[in-house]
Amino acid sequence: MTEDTLQDAVLTTRLDKVLGWARKYSLFNYPFVTACCGMEYMATSSSHYDTDRFGAVFPRFSPRQADLLMVVGTVNHKQAPVLKRIYDQMCEPKWVVAFGVCATSGGFYQNYATVPGVDCVIPVDMYIPGCPPRPETVIDALMKLQERIQGQKQALV
C-alpha cells in the first residue's frame, strides 16, 4: 500500500468521542403521554417532520429499552410515583425531556392535584415550552439535547 492510501484508511479518535457520537444518534425514547400534547408528539414523528431521520425519538414502550424519557402533558400527584418508577427502571445513561407547558410548569392548572413541573419528581435535561409546542420547537430541543449528549463525558465501562 502506498502512503496516500494508508492515510485515507486510518482514523484516529478518542473512545469517549465515538461513544458520544453513537449515543447522540441512537436515542430510544419512552413516551409518557398523559394529555393533549400527545398529538404534537405524534406529529413530530410523522412524515412531514420525521425525527427518525437524524436518529432521535425511536419509541420504545419498555423503560428498560429506552434511554430518553419524554414526559408529554400534565402529571398529577397520583401519576408521580409511576413516573418515578419508570425513570428508575431506565438504564444509564438516561435523559428526560419535559414536553409542553404542563410538564414543565404545571400549565394553567393551579390546583392541589397537578404536579407543578416534573422536575419536582425527576431530573429534567431539556424543557420544551408551548401549549402545545410546535414540532419545530421539539426538533430544535432534540437537536440541542443531542449536542449536549455528544459533549458529555462518556462513562467507559
Is it the case that residue 1 has pLDDT exceeding 60? no
- Using DSSP's 3-state secondary structure scheme, residue 14 falls into coil
Contacts for 72 with CB less than 8 Å, ≥ 6 apart:
31, 32, 33, 34, 35, 37, 38, 41, 99, 100, 103
Could you write out the three-class secondary structure of 79-137? CHHHHHHHHHHCCCCCEEEEECHHHHHCCCCCCCCECCCHHHCCCCCEEECCCCCCHHH
Return the pLDDT at 24: 78
Residue 11 has pLDDT above 70, yes or no: no
Whether pLDDT at 7 is above 80? no
pLDDT tens column, 63-103: 888 889 999 989 999 999 999 999 999 988 899 999 999 89
3-class SS of residue 31: strand
Q: Evaluate the CA torsion angle 136, 142, 146, 148 in order and state its sign.
A: positive
Domains and CATH numbers, the chain: 14-151 (3.40.50.12280)
What is the model's pLDDT at position 75? 92
Confidence of residue 40 (pLDDT cuts 50, 70, 90): confident
Of residues 65 and 12, more confidence is placed in: 65
**Sequence-distant (≥ 6) Cβ neighbours of residue 43 within 8 angstroms:** 49, 135
Report pLDDT digits (tens) over 117-155.
Answer: 899 999 999 999 988 888 889 889 988 998 888 887 766
Contact 74, 116 (CB under 8 A): no
Which pLDDT value is given to residue 72?
A: 92
Say which residues have a Cβ less than 8 Å from residue 29's Cβ, sequence separation at least 6.
56, 57, 58, 59, 60, 66, 67, 68, 69, 70, 97
Partners of residue 33 on adjacent β-strands = 72
pLDDT at 115: 92
pLDDT in the model for residue 131: 87
Instruction: Look up cell 458529555; give the residue.
Output: 152
